Amino acid sequence: MREYAERTWGSWIPEPLDNFRPEIHQIIQCDGDEIGCIAVVDEPEALMLEKLYILPGYQGRGIGTLLLGRLIERANAVGKSIRLRVLRVNRARQLYERNGFEVEHSTNERHFMSYAVAPRGGKPYEANATRLIPRLEGTVDRQALFELYKLSLHEYIDQTFGWDENFQRERFEKSYPDSECTLITIGSATAGYFALRNEIEAVHLSLLLLRPEFRNRGIGREVMQTLMSRVAESDQPLTLSCFLCNEAAMSFYQKLGFSVVTKDEHFVTYRSPALG
């Protein structure tokens, strides 16, 4: 922050201790180390993101996206938008824009940004608004995909095996090539993506991830029904695996009629029902 303050105003003046509000601050930890802090004020009409500071050595590792995703889930739960201010010289604007924030207005010094959530109890998205855009080789933002992967699966991977950042990045690059990835879009917005692999006796869904603001809106069900219909035309079943600790995912697939094929210590594998 000091760098951006000096570039904006020519000097750095630390925040007075009298202005510090410990009740809105949370320390960010990674592997036991304190690496930053986040401060959120719950205002009547919005959640105000006052601070999101991460030490330089931990930036670019998806931690900011993970925290923003959790804040978005909180905002969706209470039906409030998120607002923030960011200095114009601060590259963090790009992080916020990747996560769905938009600039409302700007001054010579700052951008004022907001994230609009769906109203509580809002209607699901119209089925025809969802598009599946496959195999965008050379145009897929791999960093954005990995950040969504981490946001969605960090909890289950960490609980099952422990999260190793370098290992997970390498595994992600090897396991989910662009040629197997399909983007899920709603209008001009990217809602998520899935990865589909053709195997000898089945078509395997290796990933299905939605951004927090697009969850619980009927989009996942619509995507799955589309995939099940397409795969059925090839006379092959659709298979997938998920973590045993991910109870929400297991319930979701079981409601779609998927049956258990195998189960081990960590994973359960499902097969789609026969369509006819």
Domain ranges of the chain: 2-115, 127-271
**Residue 257 to residues 26, 224, 225, 239, 271, Cα–Cα distance (Å):** 42, 11, 11, 12, 9
More confident: 76 or 146? 146
CATH superfamily name and code, 2-115 = Gcn5-related N-acetyltransferase (GNAT) (3.40.630.30)
Element (H, E) at 210: strand 203-210
Q: Is 116 helix (H, G, I), strand (E, B) or coil?
A: coil
Q: Establish whether domains 2-115 and 127-271 are of one fold.
A: yes
Distance CA 219, CA 175 (A): 24
- Mean local confidence (pLDDT), 211-218: 83
- Mean local confidence (pLDDT), 199-203: 91
The torsion angles phi and psi of 120, rounded to 5 degrees, stand at -65, 135
Please determine, looking at this structure, whether the domain spanning 127-271 carries the CATH number 3.40.50.80: no
pLDDT tens, residue by residue, 159-182:
999 999 999 999 999 999 988 999
- Mean local confidence (pLDDT), 227-242: 88
DSSP symbol at 86: E
